[in-house]
Amino acid sequence: MSCSSETSCGGGRGIPSKCVCGLPTIIFTSKTQDNPGRPFFRCASKRDDHFFKWVEDAVLEEVEELKDVSLKIKSEADEFKEMLLKTKSEVEEFKTVIGDVMEAQMWSKKEIWKLKIMIKVFFSWAFFMSICVVFLMFRKANAKKLVLGY
């Protein structure tokens, strides 16, 4: 494809740094009757069939590219924000689960404590009752001895 002063050619979008041949691109000023004083990029070899682009087109492409980048950054920022919110809600959920586990642990500790008290009360009662039984048996035995003694 040969370049003309009507259309851009060679290189990618935006402000070109190098021509396809590897030489740098330089800004020249048009001296044609159609575009007097209009700046354009051209290969340093000054061969029009290598590279040609109007400076305003290159700047416009650059701005469009920046707009795309900015939109991409914005969408990535939104995505990140969403991820952050999700993580935050997951942390809250985790905190709730930990709270439940701790509450259950407290409850089981209380239950164990209650059970220990009940066991102590039961054994104390059983001990007291066995003493009473022994006492009564001893007393009955003594009473019989007394009866027999008569």
Residue ranges that bind Zn ion, judged by CB under 5 A: 19, 21, 23, 43, 45, 50
**Residue 41 or 54: which CB sits closer to Zn ion?**
41
By beta-carbon proximity to Zn ion, the closer residue of 3 and 19 is 19
DSSP collapsed to 3 states, the chain: CCCCCCCCECCCCCCCCECCCCCEEEEEECCCCCCCCCEEEEECCCCCCCCEEEHHHHHHHHHHHHHHHHHHHHHHHHHHHHHHHHHHHHHHHHHHHHHHHHHHHHHHHHHHHHHHHHHHHHHHHHHHHHHHHHHHHHHHHHHHHHHHHC
Nearest residue (CB) to Zn ion, 49 versus 78: 49
- Closest separation between CB of residue 49 and Zn ion, Å? 9
Provide, rounded to whole angstroms, the least separation between the CB of residue 86 and Zn ion.
51
Q: How far is the CB of 57 from Zn ion (least distance, A)?
A: 18
